[in-house]
Structure 1
Amino acid sequence: MYMLLYDGWHKIEEIIANIKGREVKREKIIIKGGVSGIVINRDNKVLLVKQYRPCVGHYTYELVAGCIDKDISNKEILLEELQEECEITKDEVISISEKPLVEYYMMCGSSDATMSIYLVKVDSKSINKKVDDVDVEEIVWVTVQEMEEMKEKGLIKDGKTIIALEKLKNYFKNDY
């Protein structure tokens, strides 16, 4: 049983949960799940997108990602996002991992929406450039060390990119 409290892009529902034998009211945020990619090129550089995030009031550097809001597979959504946000075509994609490297609840205490992070290898040059996308300002190719420095400077703050950084440290453990 629930009652809708807000019906916008994000929805908030009031739910009744049974916790330790007691019925309690809680809010559940209904948001779309997401899919993202740790995109690595032949130079072993990682692709990040720079975009303005109005809710936090500044630019961030993040993995390429998109909402699961179409009736297509996660991989197809990821391919569309690579084209739209990064101008990387399907022909440049060498491989996408069969399963996500990581899948987690984006806001476990408030929502059941998940983020699935895939490993994507591409045959693209390490050229930082402005892109013609409604959300993304530019794409940058960085090393894992540069990613770590960006995180320390506060340029990388979102969960998926920080989780990816930890995965990448292990992936490149001999080079890091």
Structure 2
Amino acid sequence: MKQEMLMDMKVRGKKFSFAVVRKTLPNGLRVEVDRIEHPGAVLIIPFLTKDKVVFLDQYRPVLGRYLLELPAGTLDKNERPLLCARRELIEETNYKAGRLQRLGRIYPVPGYSTEIIYIYKAEGLTREKGTKDKDEIIRPRILTKMEAKKIFRKGCIHDAKTICGLVLCGWL
């Protein structure tokens, strides 16, 4: 008994939109829910070697600061996650993956967003010149497993999708 009715599309942004929807819960109660419509995203864990991964120091304008993250990006319209992972890896790191293995998927904020993040492990990396998005300020940073664990234990990895990716690949 999954009933849903769009009540009001409040704001349509560049990539996301905000809507108020009326839903019927499994217990029959009708509620109004605020929801961010999100096309989905990917996170890539790019292994240079068994013990070295490419991270990014990425400036996040909403927070006004840099975060240590793994490469990631939003799906374009009708884009499949695997193709998005290939594209984003080249754009953000200048590496192309010989192999991409899907490790899982997460719902980062299921209380108010439809976003699903597909997590991939990338291996067999070769250099390939990418074109970064103009609005992204990114500095690649190569870390070993021990360095990443140490930084995490110090409380210096704040990005939830990155933490999930590190858990799924066995680094945390």
In the TM superposition, what is the alpha-carbon distance from 1:58 to its structure 2 partner?
Answer: 0.9
Residue among 30, 54, 66 paired with 2:73:
66
1:59-95 CA-to-partner distances (Å, cap 9, x unmatched) read: 011111111114333222222112211111x3xx221
Partner of 1:4: 9
* Deviations 1:30-71 (CA, angstroms, capped at 9, x unpaired): 122101211111252011111111122210111111111143
Where in structure 1 are there 5+ consecutive unaligned residues?
Answer: 126-130, 171-175
Tell me how far apart the structure 1 counterparts of residues 88 and 132 of structure 2 sit (CA, whole Å): 13
RMSD: 2.3
Report the more deviating stretch, 140-149 or 71-80: 71-80
1:44 and 2:45 matched: no
Question: Structure 2 regions of 5+ residues with no counterpart?
Answer: none
The CA deviation at 1:27 is 0.7
1:106 is matched with which residue? 108
Matching of residues 11-26 of structure 1 within 5 Å? 11-19=17-25, 20-26=27-33
Greater CA drift, 131-140 or 55-64 = 131-140
Contact 1:42/1:124 (8 A) holds in 2: no
Q: Is the alpha carbon distance of 1:133 and 1:139 closer, same or farther for their aligned partners in structure 2, counting shifts above 3 Å?
A: farther
Task: Name the CA distance, whole Å, in 2 between partners of 1:123 and 1:11.
Answer: 35
The number of aligned residues is 161
Alignment of 1:95 onto 2:95: no
